[in-house]
A = this chain, B = another copy of it.
Amino acid sequence: MRVSAKGENGVRAMTILALEFRAGPVPLREIAAREGLSYQFLEQIFLLLRRAGLITSVRGAKGGYALARPPEEIKVGEVLRVLDGPIAPVECVGEGNSDACGRIAACLTRGIWERLRDRMSEVLDEITLADVINTPADST
């Protein structure tokens, strides 16, 4: 029941872009160095994020990536959906998908996964990147 490394690192990278939001585009190499991640792996992640419209890119020297919207307007859930696909504990309860398996009535367990999915989306969609950078580390 894990988020993928793509998802985890994507959220971290987005957090950095949120921190640097006012400073203009940040080059990938910097992020990679800062988080100790493979440049090329991050590249893949950013490709997806850009295509999904969550970040913008500037090519060439002095280029880099920046959030497409302010940190307050980007939810963690959005990032995760782009990188890991729909938030769904089992295939047959993909978001917006209420009957993929064709044996709804027979499937007593379905309700579990729907409830789980809904609560997962709920948490992830109520946290924005602004929350992430403003929350003190030990607010548990």
Contact = CB atoms under 8 A, between A and B. Distances in A.
Interface string A77-115: 000100010011111000000100000110111111111
Nearest to A138: B104
A120 interface: yes
Interface string A127-140: 10000110101111
Copies in the complex: 2
Which of A84, A109, A140 has most chain B Cβ within 10 Å? A109
Chain A contact residues, majority secondary structure:
helix
B15 A108 contact: yes
Given A1-B87, A115-B123, 14 more contacts: A1-B1, A2-B89, A2-B90, A3-B113, A8-B109, A11-B109, A11-B112, A107-B137, A108-B132, A108-B137, A111-B137, A116-B120, A116-B123, A119-B123
